[in-house]
Amino acid sequence: MAELKYDVRRGADTYRLIYYSRLKSWILKGIIKRDEALVWRSGLSGWRKPEDLEELRPYFEQREEKDLRSKREEKHPYLFPKRRIRNILIIDDEEDLCWLLSNILQSRGYNISTANSISDGMACLKEMPDLLFLDLKLPDGDGMDLLPKIREITPQTLVVIISAYGSEEKRGEAGGRGVCGFIDKPFTEGNVLEIIGQVSSERVISEQ
């Protein structure tokens, strides 16, 4: 077990500030972990574990929370996509589906816009979303016919088709037109997060 010795009696408040700022930095960097070090507080309580000091305890918790998140990201990468995608547009004539999908995505920190027709969607495309969830069967046309216009208005927008008509022929046609993903209806939250994780990774690679 490492031993770190500082005399907090010397320099009073100034020395104490240096003492804690260094310990804080080492804890947050993972240099000092629980049960791995003792610190000397002469004139106060002698040798102590830094995690036993109330003023240092929050920094251990921050570091451990960061380590836990890293492990979760390694185990479930699609649940923690790279945050290059921020603004998402949903074009679907089913209002309940738009509401459900919006709730899923907003809870993950994304900014969401919705449209229930091609005409309304065209207006929203002027905001240049990072990602578009597009239905095929819309009241004023076929979503597939909208793809060339999307490329013209906002070529950097990634497109994922959401449809109950996901035949192999449709998937092939969508892929040939530059669509980067396809989700069958009905879908789960896991399906949505997985596809965002996949297209996020592709987006990061393409920008490097």
Asked if residue 204 has pLDDT above 60, the reply is no
152/142 Cα distance (integer angstroms): 17
Q: Which residues share a beta bridge with 38? A: 3
Peptide linkage before 186 cis (omega within 30 of 0): yes
147/189 Cα distance (integer angstroms): 25
Asked if residue 155 has pLDDT above 80, the reply is yes
Average pLDDT over residues 120-131: 92
* Proportion of the chain above pLDDT 90, given as a percent: 21
16-30, 137-151, 179-193: segment of lowest average pLDDT: 16-30
- Position 207 scores a pLDDT of 44
13-71 residue pLDDT tens: 444 555 666 777 788 888 888 887 777 665 555 677 778 877 778 888 888 887 887 77
SS3 content of the chain, % helix, strand, coil (to 5): 50, 20, 30
Instruction: Spell out the domain ranges in the chain.
Output: 2-75, 82-207
- Position 83 scores a pLDDT of 46
Average pLDDT over residues 109-132: 92
Q: What does each C-alpha distance from 145 to 1, 23, 137, 150 come to in angstroms?
A: 67, 60, 11, 10
Query: Does 82-207 carry CATH code 3.20.20.70?
Result: no
Amino acid at 3: E
At 114, which helix (H) or strand (E)?
A: strand 111-115
The count of C-alpha atoms lying within 13 angstroms of the C-alpha of 103, restricted to the half-sphere facing its C-beta, is 7
Task: Report how far Cα 140 is from the mean position of its chain's Cα atoms.
Answer: 34
- Position 34 scores a pLDDT of 85
Asked if residue 175 has pLDDT above 70, the reply is yes
Burial 57-90 (b: 16+ CB within 10 A, else e): eebbeebeeeeeeeeeeeeeebebbeeebeebbb
- Position 111 scores a pLDDT of 93
Q: What is the DSSP letter of 192?
A: H
Asked if residue 205 has pLDDT above 50, the reply is no
